[in-house]
Each structure stands twice: as structure tokens, then as C-alpha cells.
A = this chain, B = another copy of it.
Amino acid sequence: MLKVGVIGCGYWGPNLIRNFSQLRRTDVTLVADLDDDRLSHMKKLYPTIETTKDYRKIIENPEIDIVAVATPVHTHYKFASEALSSGKNVFIEKPMTASVNEAEDLIRLSEKHHRKLMVGHTFEYTSAVRKMKEIIDAGELGDIYYISSQRLNLGLFQQDINVIWDLAPHDISIILYLLGQEPVSVSAIGSSHINPLIEDVAVLSMQFSNNLIAFVQTSWLDPDKIRKMTVVGSKKMMVYDDVQPSEKIRVYDKGVDVPRHYDTFAEFHYSYKYGDIVIPKIDGSEPLQTELDHFIDCILNDEKPISDGNSGLRVIKILEASQKSLNEGNKPVSTG
């Protein structure tokens, strides 16, 4: 039985605690947070777990095998680097770090200490995203022309990172996972309304080779909760709507030609024609469980996690480039 220590039980931490508790091969031993209320709430929910306000109790506990970090982004590096240096396997919430330098350093530490480093790109472990990758890899869509993604809601405002750093890591990690390649350049445009220093609405563009382009629109201010990704290929098109409870993916066959002439306004409604649409059955297991199970497998079998440190680094590179583009008036920034 692997012992888990969790640093941070605010927003996402409780999900990690619940899942590590329910998995057969792990037990949560210790939870650290600065907030007494959160700690006593965790204690009520999981009476057998110990709590502490001092994260070092976790780092220094020799029985603990895994440290899970679910704290604000700017603290990720500190907790993760200390944990790796103490010989712990480390699971970090996304985005992995606040800079490329920090990410590279964590990868180095994990290699030096022969410990696993994994970042919580949860979507790579969902049945829906895996089904999409399966469809793309089978060539069903043909050549990919573009991917367009929206992640919008009236959301949790972050104090330390902008809306791209907060929301786009999901989309970026999904897109890199689906395409298996990195962009050659990135540009971003956004604006700030609530906090003048932090963009709360933004569009990120990633230019890949082969004329492939990806757009990611993010907002903390939108009335609709939208989490939607469209993948347009030369043969078929695919829409992933994560807000749908069950029908998450639709595959559209290319349609016949649109009629060129319209005699009445009514026929206008008839004119958008496609081929058949297929909504494939998606297995509905909780992705976080799949993700943590995979992490445990990697530790026990000494294998490389799908969303390992390098996967985290690739996302941070794009986030850093997007920040540079925002600062430099929207101009494309090379990520090559």
C-alpha cells in the first residue's frame, strides 16, 4: 500500500484525497493546508487521515511515497522540488510550474532522484479525449485543418495567474496529446477588466507546421459555461463538448454541396447539409481515478507517465510564449 501526502486541500485537493483514498493501492496518510477550517472539514470526511499546517511534516515523513501538490501555481516548484529531493514521487496539478526554468529543474530533479514526476493533465485520461485520439490516429478525419477550442465560464478568478494560465492548460494539453506535435509559434490577444494587471478574456493561437492552426478562447467572464473543442479535418470533423453529460463527441461526415440558389427565406433553413453524424459511446469512468491509477502503475512498474514532466514542460513553454505575445502587442512568438 503506497502512502500519500497531499499539500493543499482548497479547490482541487479534496478530489485528490477522495480518489487516493478510494483506490485499492493507496492510502492518504497526511494532508497539509494553512486553513484550519479546511483541515477540520477533511478530518470529518476522512476520520483516519492526519492533518497538519506544516507541509514539512509530509516532506520529512519517511513512510510517505507520494506527494500530491494542489496549491497555487507559484508555490508548485517549491513543494515539488523539496519533495523530489526527499525521494518522493510527485504529482502536481496543472499548470506544472510558473516558468519553463522551474519545469526544467523539476524534470532534472526527478531524473536525479529516480522518482516519478507527473502533472495532472486530467483530460488526457478521459475516455472522451482518448476516443478522439483513437479516431484521429486511425486517419478518420483525414488531414487536420484546424482545432478551435473554447473554455468559458463565469469563473473562479485567480489572483496570481491570468485566464490563459488558468484555463488554457487543459486545451493545450489535449491538443498536444491529440496532435503529437508542438506548435512552431504562438500568439495571444486579451484584455483585463476586473484586475487591470491580469487578463480575464483572451484568445491564444498556435501555429503548427503543415498549415495547421489551433485557437483557444478563454474567459472568466462569460455567462455560458462552454468547454468545447472542434477538430476539422479534410475528411471528417469532430466536436467534443465536455459540458454534455453523455454525448460528448460527435463525428460529422462531410456533406454534399450546398444548393446555390434560394427562392424563399424558408428554403434557407433547409440548406445546411452534412452527411451522417455519429455520436460514439464513451465509457464514463471518472478520469481522475484513471489518472491516479496510471501514476501508481508507473511508480510500481518504473514506467514513464503519459503526462510526465516533459508533457508539463511543453504546456509551460506555450504559456510562457503566450505571455510574451500579450506583452509585445499580440505578435507571434516562436516556440521552436
Contact = CB atoms under 8 A, between A and B. Distances in A.
Interface centre among A41, A47, A234, by most chain B C-beta atoms within 10 angstroms, is A47
Given A192-B211, A331-B331, A281 B288 contact: no
A71 interface: no
Interface stretch (A11-19, A102-110, A171-179): A11-19
A265 B264 contact: yes
Interface string A273-312: 1111111110011101000000000000000000000000
A291 to B, nearest CB: 13
A117 B117 CA distance: 53
Contact of A14 (B211, B223, B261): B261
Interface residues of A, number: 88
A222 B48 CA distance: 44
Interface in A240-296: 243, 245-247, 250, 252-255, 258, 260-281, 284-286, 288
B258 A270 contact: no
Contact of A281 (B223, B261, B276): B276
A252 B223 contact: yes
Interface stretch (A56-64, A83-91, A148-156, A315-323): A148-156
B156 A258 contact: yes
A219 interface: yes
A21 interface: yes
A109 to B, nearest CB: 30
Assembly stoichiometry (copies): 4
A30 interface: no
B272 A18 contact: no
A124 B263 CA distance: 22
Given A44-B24, A266-B265, A279-B277, A193 B211 contact: yes
A81 interface: no
A286 B258 contact: no
A189 interface: yes
Interface in A199-240: 201, 203, 205, 211-213, 215, 217, 219, 221-225, 230, 232, 234, 237-239
Q: Which 7 A-B pairs have the closest CB atoms?
A: A266-B266, A270-B284, A223-B252, A277-B279, A223-B237, A265-B266, A145-B193
